[in-house]
């Protein structure tokens, strides 16, 4: 008989622990903890397949807990999903810099939470976030100049841009781009994670990971991605939501 996958939820608010446990009950065996100390103890005892951790908790925050997990040779393989409860773009950057494997924003969609967790449970080889095609202009702000490019695809975690300007990996930039029919442009910061040299058949390209990204923008991107996935079910995002807390 196959052993059920284990999911650890760490949150100081009982309501969120209970609701997230309910949402994930069919995905695996759920273990909960009230704070980072309990969470780290549960990690060592249960060896969960994925940990869903609140970013802001009294005492040791989720970012510090994530850093501790990634620095521990026995735990570092554990995928960590950090959940940000504020709309501050700096919180998203804080989670990424802490080493989070994924970042979600409250209010959490039931479907989004299940999808994010199952990405780590369904395959021994981690797959990238779902990407959709997008063609829109993007301004890339550098310290001494601006570069313009074209977004070719988008995920919750970042985007791929074609441009005729070389930018080295690890460079942090400011972006400005629009989603189709979007009321206002999105303006996250991002880090160049890889660079594709230009060839006669293909222009130069950049893979960018979002850093500072406010919660409202994160949810707009999430909605756009899910709505444009192939065979995406109708009403995918009309799921039970958790109120921000």
Give per-residue pLDDT as tens, 148-205.
999 999 999 999 999 988 899 999 999 999 999 888 999 999 999 999 988 888 889 9
Q: Where are the beta strands (DSSP E) in the chain?
A: 6-10, 29-33, 50-54, 80-84, 102-105, 132-141, 146-154, 158-163, 172-177, 189-196, 205-210
At residue 2, does pLDDT exceed 60? no
194/236: higher pLDDT: 194
pLDDT digits (tens, 9 = 90+) for 85-137: 888 999 999 999 999 999 998 888 888 899 899 999 976 666 678 899 999 99
- Check residue 182 and give its pLDDT: 81
Residue 142 has pLDDT above 80, yes or no: yes
Residue with the larger pLDDT of the pair 108 and 2: 108
Write down the pLDDT at residue 9: 98
pLDDT in tens, 12-33: 999 999 999 999 999 999 999 9
Confidence of residue 231 (pLDDT cuts 50, 70, 90): low
**What pLDDT sits at residue 108?**
84
Q: What is the pLDDT of residue 86?
A: 83
* 5: confidence class by pLDDT, cuts 50, 70, 90: very high
Handedness of CA 10, 12, 15, 16 (dihedral sign): negative
Above pLDDT 90, what percent of the chain?
70
């Amino acid at each position: 008989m196959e052993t059920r996958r284990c999911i650890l939820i760490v949150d100081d608010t009982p309501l969120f622990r209970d609701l997230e446990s309910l949402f994930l009950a069919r995905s695996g065996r759920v273990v909960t903890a009230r704070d980072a100390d309990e969470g780290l103890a549960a990690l060592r005892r249960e060896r969960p397949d994925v940990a869903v951790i609140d970013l802001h908790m009294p005492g040791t925050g989720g970012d510090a807990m994530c850093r501790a997990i990634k620095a521990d040779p026995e735990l570092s393989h554990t995928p960590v999903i950090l959940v940000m409860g504020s709309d501050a773009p700096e919180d998203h950057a804080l989670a990424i810099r802490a080493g989070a494997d994924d970042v979600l924003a409250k209010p959490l969609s039931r479907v989004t939470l299940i999808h994010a967790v199952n990405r780590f449970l369904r395959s021994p080889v981690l797959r990238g976030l779902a990407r959709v095609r997008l063609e829109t202009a993007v301004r890339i702000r550098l310290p001494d100049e601006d570069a313009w490019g074209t977004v070719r695809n988008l995920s919750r975690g970042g985007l791929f841009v074609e441009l005729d300007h070389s930018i080295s990996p690890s460079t942090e930039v400011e972006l400005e781009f629009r989603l189709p029919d979007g009321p206002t442009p999105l303006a996250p910061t991002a880090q160049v994670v890889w660079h594709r040299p230009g060839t006669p058949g293909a222009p130069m390209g950049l893979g960018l990971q979002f850093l500072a990204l406010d919660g409202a923008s994160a949810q707009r991107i999430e909605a756009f991605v899910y709505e444009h996935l192939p065979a995406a079910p109708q009403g995918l995002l009309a799921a039970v939501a958790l109120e921000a807390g």
